[in-house]
């Protein structure tokens, strides 16, 4: 036990100790993951609901560790943010995703690539004035058309350091890059932000889509978001679409795009290419 002060002798319980050990092990391995080439991107289609065509792919990171097996992003993105490793990892994700999108563009399949940018990642970059530089570098290096890149940010990004955030997003927007708000509806951003920031797309969080067929509140929320997005001329993507009946409801709203297991799980690049060829080239 570590003595932190009066009555605090129990600070490290055995459970916490093993959790801490797990974390240390994870951090140790994560530091080497980039060099060892253990990170991979999977891609999940974003589909136009009325004709079923793929219009974009979201890049989702996976970590194939030699000792721990496949580690999902929810298990290591937080750690990457805390340690600052999210900066090189985020740059790798952006570069890899844009390279892939450029390859698809050259193959006659010019679809959008959506890349996630977590809140802490955004602000770490921003503090270091790196975010814009990285985006510029990657676009130059990969020669991807900027309008084929969409950055997925969270509502929380819109609520901190308003002025610098607005600056950064405007600069990114001026490059021609698209900006979308991920997990929309789960944060606490005020709706006026939707007008103030240079946004292109809202992604309705999958928690609202899940019970859309049975839960009247969820239906009301999705209807309201759809109507609002239409008024604000924002594109709308429903996340977590898993079956036809959810799709039917969404199609009846002004929600034009869907993403979810119903269309495809996130898949490795080669499989994603096959899906694209099927969708776009017949
Ligand atoms: P997200 O951006 O909201 O991504 C959607 C998550 O929902 C993905 O989980 C995806 O596999 C999952 N999903 C897709 N369709 C369905 C569906 O129909 N039903 C259900 N139940 N789930 C579905 P994943 O890949 O485990 O990623 C989790 C989160 O990790 C992402 O949530 C994102 O916040 C973060 N993440 C993933 N890749 C990156 C990355 O490259 N950078 C950063 N900063 N964060 C990332
Ligand atoms: Ca996302
Ligand atoms: Ca999401
Ligand atoms: Ca999420």
Residue 80 Cα to ligand 3 middle (Å): 19
Dig out the tokens for 241 from the structure: 């679409």
Q: Are 26 and 76 in contact (CB under 8 A)?
A: yes
Atom of ligand 1 nearest to the CA of 90: 42
Q: Which residues line ligand 1 (CB under 6 A)?
A: 44, 60-61, 72-74, 77, 93, 116-118, 121, 182-183, 206, 240-242, 260-261, 266
Express each pLDDT in 183-195 by its tens digit: 998 887 677 788 8
What distance in angstroms lies between residue 40's CA and the mean position of ligand 1's atoms?
14
What pLDDT shows up at residue 187?
A: 81
| Token code pair at residue 252 | 């009846």
The residues, ordered by sequence, that sit 6+ positions from 241 with a Cβ below 8 Å of its Cβ are 209, 247, 250, 258, 259, 260, 261, 262, 263
Those residues with Cβ within 8 angstroms of residue 256's Cβ, 6 or more apart along the chain or in another chain = 48, 49, 50, 235, 236
d(CA 214, CA 129): 46
Task: Return the residue whose CA atom lies nearest to atom 22 of ligand 1.
Answer: 240
Q: What span, in angstroms and rounded, lies between the C-alpha atoms of 269 and 134?
A: 23
Crossing angle for the helix pair 86-106 and 73-83, to the nearest 10 degrees: 120
Which ligand has its closest atom nearest to the C-alpha of 240?
1
pLDDT of residue 123: 83
Which of ligand 1's atoms lies nearest the C-alpha of 262? 18
CB atoms under 10 Å from CB of 19, counted, come to: 11
Q: How far is the CA of 183 from the centre of ligand 4 (A)?
A: 6
pLDDT at 262: 98
C-alpha–C-alpha distance, residues 94 and 135, integer Å? 8
Atom of ligand 1 nearest to the CA of 86: 44
pLDDT tens-digit profile of 17-29? Answer: 788 888 888 999 9
* Centre of ligand 4 from the C-alpha of residue 116, in Å: 10
pLDDT for 13 equals 66
* Separation of CA 49 and ligand 2 centre (Å): 18
- The parts of the chain modelled with pLDDT lower than 70 are 1-16, 126, 128, 189
Ligand 1 nearest atom to the CA of residue 118, by list position: 44
Smallest-distance ligand from the CA of 263: 1
For residue 74, which ligand has an atom nearest its CA?
1
> What separation in Å is there between the alpha carbon of 42 and the centre of ligand 1?
10
Nearest ligand, measured from the Cα of 185 = 3
Separation between Cα atoms, residue 131 and residue 144, nearest integer Å: 17
Distances (CA, A) of 209 to 152, 215, 218, 267: 19, 10, 7, 22
**Whose Cα sits closest to atom 4 in ligand 1?**
60
Instruction: Tell which atom from ligand 1 comes closest to the C-alpha of 80.
Output: 44
Ligand nearest, relative to CA of residue 58: 2
pTM across the whole model = 0.93
Residue nearest to atom 12 of ligand 1 (CA): 240
Question: Residue 156's pLDDT is what?
Answer: 84
Alpha-carbon gap, residue 71 to 74, rounded angstroms: 8
- ipTM for the predicted complex comes to 0.98
Cα pseudo-dihedral 92, 151, 277, 280, rounded to 10: -160
> ∠ CA(193), CA(232), CA(202), 5° rounding?
70
**Calpha distance 135→58 (Å, rounded):** 17
């Amino acid at each position: 036990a570590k003595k932190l002060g009066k009555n605090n002798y129990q600070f490290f319980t055995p459970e916490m100790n093993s959790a801490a050990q797990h974390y240390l092990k994870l951090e140790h391995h994560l530091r080497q993951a980039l060099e060892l080439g253990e990170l991979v991107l999977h891609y999940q289609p974003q589909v136009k609901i009325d004709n079923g065509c793929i219009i974009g792919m979201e890049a989702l990171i996976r970590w194939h560790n030699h000792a721990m097996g496949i580690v999902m992003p929810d298990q290591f993105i937080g750690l990457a943010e805390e340690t600052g490793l999210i900066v090189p990892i985020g740059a790798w994700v952006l570069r890899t995703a844009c390279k892939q999108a450029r390859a698809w563009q050259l193959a006659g399949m010019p679809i959008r690539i959506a890349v996630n940018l977590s809140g802490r990642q955004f602000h770490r970059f921003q503090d270091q004035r790196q975010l814009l530089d990285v985006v510029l570098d990657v676009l130059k290096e990969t020669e991807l058309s900027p309008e084929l890149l969409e950055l997925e940010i969270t509502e929380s990004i819109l609520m901190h350091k308003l002025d610098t955030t607005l600056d950064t997003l405007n600069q990114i927007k001026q490059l021609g890059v698209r900006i979308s708000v991920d997990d929309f509806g789960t944060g606490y951003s005020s709706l006026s932000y939707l007008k103030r920031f240079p946004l292109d797309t809202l992604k309705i969080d999958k928690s609202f889509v899940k019970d859309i067929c049975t839960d009247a509140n969820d239906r009301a929320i999705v209807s309201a978001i759809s109507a609002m997005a239409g008024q604000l001329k924002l594109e709308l993507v429903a996340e977590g679409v898993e079956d036809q009946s959810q799709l039917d409801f969404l199609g009846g709203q002004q929600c034009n795009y869907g993403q979810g297991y119903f269309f495809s799980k996130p898949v490795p690049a080669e499989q994603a290419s096959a899906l694209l060829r099927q969708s776009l080239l017949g």
